[in-house]
A and B are shown apart, each in its own frame.
Chain A
Amino acid sequence: MNILFEAFKQSIELVSTFNTDLYEILLLSLKVSCLSLFFSSLIGLPLGTFLAIKNFWGKDITLIFFNTMMGLPPVVVGLIVYLLISRSGPFGWLGILYTPTAMIIAQMILIIPIIVSLTAQTIEEIHQEYKLLFYSLVVPPHKAVIAYLFEARYLILTVMLAGFGRAISEVGAVIIVGGNIDHLTRVMTTTIALETSKGNLSLALALGIILLSIALFTNFILIRLKIRAKQRMYV
């Protein structure tokens, strides 16, 4: 119990004294996760909306595929990306192994199925409400996709938060393709794993606290936004 208390005290100290290493790791984690979320959203949101509003042969299979991909084991993704971008792999010439770019790619592979599947489910409900109106107004398909996403904006924020949660808490893939190199690819989760194995619990715990705080803060903002939106019947 004393060890835990001591580690907790030290972790608070690290956070409050703006420890350089700690904040470097934190900023890189946020950068990698936010960028992977951004690029995944660019692909996943329109794709999910398209799957929700269009009927085509193979739609069910596509949805099943993305639903299944939601449960992809991160280490497997890490291994596949590693094989693809390692020097002897087909994309070895890019020279991105053990860089944040590789980590972003690995996280995108993990996040895109989540965003596609959850967006498709969300938009399907809204589509039932608006399909006749949009068709009656002769809304062009690309504008319809944007309109559906806008109408579901508060629910889409939850979808994106789920993606962000997966990205920032992920360790298996980023440790394989990033290599956990100090000052280069070391992020919160990989540091937690490393420092715990070294017995340096204070840094690990400090990062854990920050990780939880980020999750709490983003959820708090989202819930406030949703409450306000519900009052205006925008959800």
Chain B
Amino acid sequence: MSKKVFEYAQNLTPIQLTNLSVVVGQKIILDKINCKIKSNSITAILGPNGAGKSIFLQTINGLVSVQSGRLTFNLMENNQEIREQQAMVFQTPVLLRRTVMANMQFVSNLRNKESNRLLKNILNKVGLEGYEKKPARLLSGGEKQRLSMARALMVNPNLLLLDEPTANLDPYSLNLIEDLVLEENSIGKTVIFTTHDMSQAKRLATDVIFLNKGKVLEQTISKTFFKSPKTVEAEKYINGEILI
């Protein structure tokens, strides 16, 4: 890692979104949103389907272009060096048509060219020891998501973006991923994740951003959000009611 990147690595947060709008096709997905993501926080992005949660993460990761407004990382505009410090885990795991180990090596070769021993250690961490030679796309849903997580950790990111990382997963994979999130956060990483699982949000999140129809309706600390939501929409969402 170059010295410049290392300096950035210390200062990626806070992440500030100012009057930020994202348009996909003709549709406004994020509408002039303002919010701030604190250093070393675990922020849950909550909201009903179509609220713009995934696009929110993709915008931070630089995968979609911003129509208007600003996105800054510790006052710096998004650039390649900042993006190299982020890792994204998609809701549907996207794995290469190779073995588990080759998937890890692909990412490793892009960055630090880590030793196979370290790659195996990371695989052990996500409970995939002994799976090195297995074709990645033959893994079960939970195993695939854990491999995606391992690949993300490979990058040693300062910002971990997780798009519904535990949707439809078995309890073992769910617990393992949650433990990894807490572990990464405990060593100083900032985590932003989306979920529909309220109890998971309560377990993991230090902060909550509540989105509805592309707008930020609430941003607060997790405990406050779940105890006394300020908006009717948030209250309905927490209680499992339909938002129209």
A interface with B by C-beta (< 8 Å): 129-130, 132-133, 135-140, 143, 147, 150-151, 232-235
Contacts and interface: CB of A to CB of B under 8 A. Distances in A.
A138 B109 CA distance: 12
Interface in B57-89: 58, 61-63, 80, 83-84, 86-88
B58 A234 contact: no
Given A233-B97, A234-B135, A132 B110 contact: no
6 tightest CB-CB pairs across the interface, nearest first?
Answer: A233-B137, A232-B135, A234-B97, A133-B94, A136-B88, A151-B97
A140 B83 CA distance: 13
Contacts of B155: 137
Contacts of B61: 136
B58 A132 contact: yes
A138 B83 contact: yes
B90 A133 contact: yes
Interface string B97-109: 1100000001100
Contacts of A136: 61, 63, 83, 86-88
Contacts of B137: 232-234
Contacts of B28: none
A137 B110 contact: yes
Given A136-B61, A233-B138, A234-B97, 20 more contacts: A130-B96, A132-B94, A133-B90, A133-B94, A136-B86, A137-B107, A137-B110, A138-B83, A138-B84, A138-B110, A139-B110, A147-B106, A150-B98, A232-B135, A232-B137, A232-B138, A233-B137, A234-B135, A234-B137, A235-B97
B198 to A, nearest CB: 27
A137 B87 CA distance: 7
Contacts of B58: 132
Interface residues of B, number: 22
A143 B94 CA distance: 18
Q: Is the interface of A mostly helix, strand, loop or mixed?
A: helix
Nearest to B96: A151
Contacts of A137: 107, 110, 155
B77 to A, nearest CB: 16
A233 B90 contact: no
A88 to B, nearest CB: 52
16 contacts: A130-B96, A132-B58, A133-B90, A133-B94, A135-B62, A135-B63, A136-B61, A136-B87, A137-B107, A138-B110, A140-B110, A143-B110, A151-B97, A232-B138, A234-B97, A234-B137
B57 to A, nearest CB: 10
Nearest to B88: A136
A178 B97 CA distance: 43
B110 A234 contact: no
A147 B88 CA distance: 19
Contacts of A150: 98
A137 B89 CA distance: 10
A137 B63 CA distance: 10
A202 B110 CA distance: 58
A143 B87 CA distance: 18
